[in-house]
Amino acid sequence: MTPSSRAAVPSDGRYQPGDLIHDKYLLVRRLGQGGMGTVWVAQNTVLQVSVAVKLIALGDQEDANENAERLLREARAAARLDHPAIVRVFDFGRTNHGDPFIVMELLHGESLADILARDSRMTGVQAVRAMLPIAHALASAHDKGVVHRDVKPENVILSTTEDGRTQPKLLDFGIASLQEKSTRITQEKRLTREGSVVGTPAYMSPEQAMGKADLDQRTDVWSFGVMLYELTTGRLPFDADNYNALLYEIINQRPEPVTAHAAGDDELWQIIEVALRKKPEERWGSMHAFGEALALWLVDRGVSDDVCAASLRSTWLESANVATRAVDLAETSPGTQPQSDKRSAPLVPLPSKPPSGKPKTVNERRPSGWPMRIAFIALCFVAGLLLVGQFVGADTVADTDHAARSDSPSASQAERGAASASGSRARELGEHGTDTLDAVPLDDVLGEVEADSKGASKGARAATSLGDTARKKRERAKSAPAPKKKPRTKDQVDFGF
């Protein structure tokens, strides 16, 4: 605790330095005052180590029962959690006066409330780096069914470890809601007067302000957003002169952007604004999602770790797909949001837990399809060459045959002439009949027949000679090399054949 807190500690005279609590813890000095009692620095006489002891001074019977139950709840909630950003609880019991107490680790540092009182505000980067370990602690608590319900600067200590590192610690689970599996413990109702609300008013969610009992992790998302708003601007998002007016603002009014107070930037405000939406279903669905958005905001500004020197990528980003944002911040800019609470659901669903799968990094590329495309084009090209080659060969043979036929017109004419002569002579003989044949001298007939026979034989020999010549030309044409290509002009495309 801080000097200001120590000065405010009341002295009821029941416990003094040197008193032995539970035959084990020797009170050394008062350290501060928590929500329900006094915190002492004590010495564990068995282990010879320093611890913090929170003592609850019981009042009337009703207060005694509530405070005892509340302290026991805090001990149980913290004992269920094992996180470096959550204060450790070692023991629980009652003093000789019957007052309950819990024993915790002793922290050396100051609360965020004391830092705000001294420095007024932090820069956006400083605030986010300091708060990310607390976001991770809340996410861990939510995963185990514990909802804090009283997140505020007084319950966050920036402690200093033995090696000089800064380690934020979340305290006071006194009004935490515990869940066994998925069933809320119904007997763990509000531990305040009937009709009142649970939590510190300025950090209450709208559902807390309306007195709803069924609170889930999204009420911690709201309180975390309020605290981040206060750290960056130096003022609360909702503030009023009295309690009822404050609750009305929380339930009905929209806060001013952090940029209106010269704090953060538009993207940081968009992230915080999602956390401060009135309807729980429109907020970040989990502290995991909220923390990832804040970690990405830091990475975009060249920051690689939080205030504990923990890597943002290994803590927040390597277990989630950050190529796609949980919500399109450009589409949820403050200027495009309606000014009343009657707005539609988020443009895209907000995640209740980090998406699974390996994230795509900036340098990761898809496998290229060019090798397969090039192989396909080459195959088509070779097939085209073979097909065109067949057509060219067939055309060459056909041209050669045509040339051979055109070179021997006399052979064809001789064959046709011989056949025509024979046919005409036969028709002549048939027309004259037998009488005419008898009138024709035999020697003349034989002479004509012999002449015709000699002409036909000469024509046949000529045709045979010409046919042999044509065949030889075809054979030479087949064995001759292919004709050279014509020179290609610059307007023609060379396909390789």
Which residues are known to be catalytic?
Answer: 150
Rounded distance between C-alpha atoms, residue 70 and residue 190, angstroms: 10
Residue length of the chain: 497
Structure tokens at 331: 């589409």
List, in sequence order, the alpha helices (H) in 301-408.
312, 370-406
Rounded distance between C-alpha atoms, residue 240 and residue 200, angstroms: 14
Rounded distance between C-alpha atoms, residue 157 and residue 160, angstroms: 9
DSSP secondary structure of 205-234? -HHHHTT-S---HHHHHHHHHHHHHHHHHS
Tell me the HSE value of 290 on the side-chain side, using a 13 A CA sphere.
32
Rounded distance between C-alpha atoms, residue 387 and residue 178, angstroms: 79
Among candidate residues 165, 138, 121, 112, the one with its CA nearest the CA of residue 294: 138
Rounded distance between C-alpha atoms, residue 69 and residue 73, angstroms: 6
Treating both helix axes as pointing N-terminal to C-terminal, what angle do 442-479 and 409-439 enclose, rounded to 10 degrees? 170
**Phi, then psi, of 477 in degrees rounded to 5:** -65, -40
**Phi, then psi, of 197 in degrees rounded to 5:** -115, 165
Give the SS3 label for residue 175: coil
Give the SS3 label for residue 401: helix
Which pairs from 183-192 meet CB under 8 Å and 24+ separation?
Answer: 184/214, 188/73, 189/213, 191/66, 191/69, 191/70, 191/73, 192/66
Rounded distance between C-alpha atoms, residue 406 and residue 404, angstroms: 5
Among candidate residues 218, 173, 153, 150, the one with its CA nearest the CA of residue 76: 173
DSSP secondary structure of 274-303? HHT-SSGGGS-SSHHHHHHHHHHHHHHTT-
Rounded distance between C-alpha atoms, residue 407 and residue 98, angstroms: 134
Q: Report CA-CA distances (Å) from 195 to 148, 210, 261.
A: 20, 10, 36
